[in-house]
Amino acid sequence: MTTQPAHVPTDTPLSSSPRASSRALVLLALLGALLQTLGGVLETLDRVEAGSPGFGFRTVLIGLAYLCLLGAVIELRRSTTAGRGRVVRVALMVAGAGWVLSAVAQLVLNIDSDVAEKALFPIATIAIGAGMLVVGIDVLRARRWSAWRRWVPLVCGVYPFVAIFPSFAAAGQPNFPVLTGWGLCWLFLAVALWPREQN
């Protein structure tokens, strides 16, 4: 006695579920990048001091933005854009941990701004920058992206070391227009990660 194989519907492509997951992660990253950019613009135009009524709200908002940016890191890990080597996997884990630590630092700002600004944020930013620097080099070598897209991960990794840290060293405090620029870098990364139809 033979059994008939289970019927598999053919009207929905098998790739639809992974594509939907990719879009969800990229939308999350887009939201995070937009919130980070908006937060930088607001701080540039109207700096809110610690202890003021709106300070806690902004720290939570930007902290959520940092967590949303994990969507870009996870999608880079899931996609074939970056290589599958151990070094790249570790680099993405380091970058992801950096965003989590950044979100924690935003909350710590409400308790001890010195710890957040002089310890947590620098460590987190170095982790994100170093991780994305490795990933960016790998994306360039893999040549799976073309035109401007292939440069975006590297820019996300280089930016902290050529813009954020020098501006902080010069002013002795965060430079919010520069931080806004980093949000734009990640916005471009999210756009680059958006799933495209296969020919």
With residues binned 3-state (H G I as helix, E B as strand, rest as coil), the percentages for the chain, rounded to 5, are 75, 0, 25
Structure tokens given for 50: 């610690």
Cα(194)–Cα(81) distance, integer angstroms: 12
Residue 47's pLDDT is 80
Provide the terminal-to-terminal Cα distance of the chain, rounded to the nearest Å: 43
User: Taking the C-alpha atoms of 109, 114, 117 and 123 in order, what is their torsion angle to the nearest 10 degrees?
Assistant: -110
pLDDT, mean of each 10-residue run, the chain (199 residues): 42 54 93 93 82 82 95 90 82 97 95 92 98 95 88 97 95 90 96 75
Return the DSSP state at 175. -
Residue 3's pLDDT is 47
Residue 148's pLDDT is 93
Contact in structure between 151 and 177 (CB atoms under 8 Å): no
